[in-house]
Amino acid sequence: MNTDTYNAPKSLNRWQSIALGAGGIGVIVWLVGYLTGNEEEALRGWLLGFIFWAGIAIGGLGILMLQYVTGGAWGVVIRRVAEACAKTIPYVGLLFIPIGLGVYKLYEFANAPATDKIIAWRGWYMDPPWWAFRAFVYFVLFSIMAYLLSSWGAKQDASKDYEESAKWLSKATRFSGPSIVIFVLLVTFASVDWMMTLEPHWFSTMWGFLFTAGWALSCFCFSVAILAYFSDKPPLDRVLGKRHFHDIGKLMLALVMVWAYFNFSQYLIIWSGNLTEETPFYVVRSKGGWGAMGLALIVLHFAFPFLILLMQDFKRKAKWLASLAIFILIMRLIDMFYIIGPSPKLGELKQHLLEVPFRVTPWDFAGPIAVGGIWLFIFIWHLRQRPLVPLNDPFFENAIKHGKGH
């Protein structure tokens, strides 16, 4: 089959240039903040951008493995987008460098006195060198998984017959099953190291599941937006159909519900336990502007998408579904800000504050724009390297017929 006819449209060149320009401007603004004495605020902004865009990249690896394990037409049409997301993970590791170098200016645990019994009890695990080493291990393992799945996908594209294509598909499927378990464990440890340690006295047993669901939802929504953009443009206008988007919309609904379930479970466990080490997390986030943001997330991150996605006709319209997906992505960014913003700044941990003023800085915008622009540039570059669909997949023709059904 002629793969040239399924390459990405040239209109992506313009979006790639826009992404690079926005990322460059964001980096300049962020550097101005960092170099003019706002190191901690600037690093918080960079962490916000990093954790949001890294979630899409790492979530792409999870979605890629999930579609191999489950099969289905939705997996065939979304595979190339998920692959391109996953292949950016090594570059995401490079974007982590400012956080790694700024650990002493960003995380309270790195500056904890010896008299802090909670952090001291955790011993070497909370030492900055070991923290940085674990981050390196996470990125290496994530990158290896992404490389293997992508390389097997490329070999499937080059297959000369059905048997050879089925062999590479089977290999990716067998690899993805047990690797999903490893993936969830890695996401759990990474989310604890990068986000939970912002409040080193606090802990939650639901944290890893919450981030696994959240990052999968982020990548799914991002993929929907990309597919909807392609849906009325050659070559995917002859591949994507209403039933594809209907299936993807149902999976979006499931992930929205799973995210809400884990959030509610975390709140319920902490509320019922009523432990001094746990309750301040929600006490701080229930007051003032943070309280309003929390209520907004309940309504706009869960209730509104949940009700909209119950409508069958809505899920079958690509542009409508993409609009909701972009809206949920904005909520995902706000959710990350809701975690980072009220967390204690350097020197505040020992004060045991139960009320933190609502604060938004220019770096909270510059960080996500800087990281996002760079990441999108790399993502588009990877997306353009391969056909937009796995042409030699044994289920490709059936996937097209499924999407065009009624």
Question: E-strand spans in 59-216?
Answer: none
Our measurement of the distance from residue 99's CA atom to the centroid of its chain's CA atoms, rounded to an integer in Å, reads: 17
Q: pLDDT-derived band of residue 350, with 50, 70 and 90 as boundaries?
A: low
Q: Which percentage of the chain shows pLDDT scores above 70? A: 97
Residue 347 scores a pLDDT above 60: yes
Element (H, E) at 116: none
SS3 159: coil
Residue 155 scores a pLDDT above 90: yes
Q: pLDDT-derived band of residue 222, with 50, 70 and 90 as boundaries?
A: very high
Residue 6 is classified by DSSP as G
- Per the prediction, the chain carries an average pLDDT of 93
Q: pLDDT-derived band of residue 354, with 50, 70 and 90 as boundaries?
A: confident
Per-residue pLDDT tens for 119-141? 888 778 889 999 999 999 999 99
Give the integer Cα–Cα distance in Å for 264 and 286. 15
Our measurement of the distance from residue 343's CA atom to the centroid of its chain's CA atoms, rounded to an integer in Å, reads: 21
Q: Which of 94, 5, 99 is nearest to 57 (CA)?
A: 94
Q: pLDDT-derived band of residue 397, with 50, 70 and 90 as boundaries?
A: confident
Give the integer Cα–Cα distance in Å for 54 and 372. 9
Give the integer Cα–Cα distance in Å for 191 and 212. 9
Question: Cβ(109)–Cβ(192) under 8 Å?
Answer: no
Pick 123 or 303 by higher pLDDT. 303
Q: Which of 19, 95, 5 is nearest to 55 (CA)?
A: 95
For the ranges 108-117, 223-232, 350-359, the maximum mean pLDDT occurs at: 223-232
Whether residue 235 is preceded by a cis peptide bond, meaning omega within 30 degrees of 0, is: yes
Question: Cβ(153)–Cβ(83) under 8 Å?
Answer: yes
